[in-house]
Amino acid sequence: MESSYVTLLSLIVFLPSAAALILTFFPRDNTEAMKAFSLAATAVVFLLTVIMALPGEGSWNFDISLAEMQKIFSISWIPAFNIRYYMGVDGISFPLVLITTFICMLSMAASWSINKHVKAYCILFLILETGILGVFLSLDFFLFYVFWEVMLLPMYFLIGVWGGPRREYAAIKFFLYTLLGGVFMLIAILMLYFASDLKQLSDGQLIAAHAVSSHLDAAEQAKEIAQLRSQADPVHTFNILALQQLGQHTAVFSDTILWGKSLQWWAFLLLLLGFVIKVPSVPLHTWLPDAHVEAPTPISMILAGVLLKLGGYGILRICYPICPQAAYDLAYFVCALGVVSMVYGGFAALAQKDFKRLVAYSSVSHMGYVVLGIAVWSLGMWSVDGKQFNADAWKMGVNGAMFQMVAHGISSPGMFFLVGVIYDRVHHRNLNQFGGLFAKMPVYSGIAIGIFFAGLGLPGLCGFIGEVLVTLSAWPYSRALAVVSASVVIITAAYILWTLQRVYLGPEYKGPHGDHLYPMTGRELAIAAPLLALAVILGVYPQAVFRYMTPSVDRTVDDLAAWTRAVEESPSRSVTQSEPPRHESSVATESLSQKD
């Protein structure tokens, strides 16, 4: 069983790298073959994830009835530091993995216009894909960090070599920001590792965290646990699930270390810093417009569609569950980060003259919803008379944030690709010099309007669901935040409609290179059409995504809600040992579908 999971997840992660290795032996001038080979590699990886997504009983099929991690395997790697080659997938990571492989395939298909150093481009592209998928699937914090940093190098070169005129500046800026975040994250990881102690966990928690192999029978597990407990020194761990258990059920991270703040407070802040740089949240977003604008179109698609999601994923998977006390104390701060990004990104987008820059700032604004949705740690989880406790609003927020990530992973690569299509023809992106494209490129303009409306959040398209769920969930927590986040929709509508008007409507195109405005090619259509189709499908049938992710999201929120309840009920607000809560994900799913 375990070996089958090892094969599956390792294939998904390392197949692109293996393809990159094979590419090094390709003859230098056969660029067409290299591109085709890379596309085939990304397509195979996509197919693997599609096989996982299909319903079925096989060991490779993702089981939507399970809220826990599945396809888990854990192999000893560096015993000296208790580091393991440890991966698994659940409803939080799986939709993101799926969107990653999908967007990578599409952007590889969009890379045919790359004609400079094709071999290096394809190799770096494939290594990048390995890095991203590795981050989503790792359950060992060290492994997670390695993949996180491995993404940087190919991204630096992809922007710096194949980018626009200010590519070198944009590339180093991207690198510096992310490395800074990475270093802070590394410090936090080491702090958590040093404070962790597996012996503090109960037997059940150890098994739940897969700190002892779940593929053994009970007797062997008991033997392993006894062996673990017999050690004299604390047993440190990089196991993310075990760290979550330690954070929620023990007080190992609550020691005061510096300036009256606890270890988890500092760890949370450092981790958050690393993740919000990636999201990116204002004021750490300034790398993004530069990187997006200078990157070649396919890389912009990956940046916007996938890389930004890593930040949101990290906050949800790592920050909150491992450091709940700190998250609880800083809930308002994180919410504010999200809302400020939404508003600031929206206004900044309104002010742009460069088409691609506008799309970039719209990403800042849209990712703000993700941060807000995750962060609405509803203090209003108690009913008015203080007797009823439910975390429905928070669940809705996190589900909304997750959906927003998926939706943004479809709409924003689409937008970047569409900008790239006209840039290839007229070689400028100045919004004020467009107009009248509808007449010259009707199919293209139709698709563009559809995708831009999806970004706007028009009901019936994918952008709507996430935004509305997040806004609704913010209401019980803070009316002000909810009102502000709802109003952002107006700003979004303003810049998108104004853009559509300036680019596609109007009598005729008067800018430079007007004679090059030929209609969309088949290849371009083949990339844009699936994105539009998905935007529509997810807009009218969001359940397609929710059925994969809701059980796991609800379970995560339930765990944290149980922790919150314990904290609020105990007078000293100290963490108490509590049993894992029961999971009533089906109820939550129903409540979600009603609200749709």
By CB under 8 A, name the binding residues for other proteins: 77-81, 145-146, 149-150, 152-153, 156-157, 160-161, 167-168, 172, 175-176, 179-180, 183-184, 186-187, 190-191, 193-194, 257-258
Shortest CB 388 distance to other proteins, Å: 43
Shortest CB 170 distance to other proteins, Å: 12
Residues 457 and 535 sit within 8 Å (Cβ to Cβ): no
Shortest CB 190 distance to other proteins, Å: 5
Query: Please, which residue, 218 or 258, has the CB nearer to other proteins?
Result: 258
Shortest CB 123 distance to other proteins, Å: 10
Shortest CB 252 distance to other proteins, Å: 14
Query: Please, which residue, 28 or 387, has the CB nearer to other proteins?
Result: 28
Q: Which ranges of 428-478 would DSSP assign to H, the alpha helix?
A: 437-440, 442-456, 462-477
Shortest CB 131 distance to other proteins, Å: 10
Q: How crowded is residue 594: how many other Cβ atoms within 10 Å of its Cβ? A: 7
Shortest CB 97 distance to other proteins, Å: 21
Query: Please, which residue, 199 or 428, has the CB nearer to other proteins?
Result: 199
| Helix/strand/coil for 256 | strand
Give the whole-angstrom CA distance, residue 38 versus residue 121.
Answer: 10
Give the whole-angstrom CA distance, residue 104 versus residue 219.
Answer: 44
Give the whole-angstrom CA distance, residue 190 versus residue 511.
Answer: 55
Query: Please, which residue, 218 or 232, has the CB nearer to other proteins?
Result: 232
Shortest CB 148 distance to other proteins, Å: 8
What b/e readout covers 137-153, taking b as 16+ CB neighbours within 10 angstroms? bbbbbbbbbebbbbbbe
Residues 581 and 248 sit within 8 Å (Cβ to Cβ): no
Specify the length of the chain in residues.
596
Which residue is listed with tokens 């590889």? 108
Query: Please, which residue, 156 or 464, has the CB nearer to other proteins?
Result: 156
Give the whole-angstrom CA distance, residue 163 versus residue 429.
Answer: 15
Shortest CB 392 distance to other proteins, Å: 39
Shortest CB 463 distance to other proteins, Å: 35
| Secondary structure (H, E, C), 59-76 | CCCCCCCCCCCEEEEEEE
Query: Please, which residue, 261 or 428, has the CB nearer to other proteins?
Result: 261
Q: How crowded is residue 351: how many other Cβ atoms within 10 Å of its Cβ? A: 10
Give the whole-angstrom CA distance, residue 304 versus residue 413.
Answer: 6
Query: Please, which residue, 217 or 233, has the CB nearer to other proteins?
Result: 233
Query: Please, which residue, 322 or 489, has the CB nearer to other proteins?
Result: 322
Query: Please, which residue, 80 or 218, has the CB nearer to other proteins?
Result: 80
Shortest CB 293 distance to other proteins, Å: 18
Q: Return the DSSP state at 54.
A: S
**Rounded to 5 degrees, what are φ and ψ at 430?**
-75, 115
- Tokens, residue 89: 């997938």
- Closest Cα to residue 362, out of 170, 454, 495? 495
Give the whole-angstrom CA distance, residue 17 versus residue 122.
Answer: 10
Give the whole-angstrom CA distance, residue 192 versus residue 343.
Answer: 34
Query: Please, which residue, 167 or 366, has the CB nearer to other proteins?
Result: 167
**C-alpha 174 chain-centroid distance:** 18
Query: Please, which residue, 195 or 209, has the CB nearer to other proteins?
Result: 195
- Closest Cα to residue 246, out of 209, 283, 293, 221? 209
Give the whole-angstrom CA distance, residue 114 versus residue 125.
Answer: 12
Shortest CB 13 distance to other proteins, Å: 13
Helix axes 167-195, 141-150, angle to 10 degrees: 170
Query: Please, which residue, 80 or 384, has the CB nearer to other proteins?
Result: 80
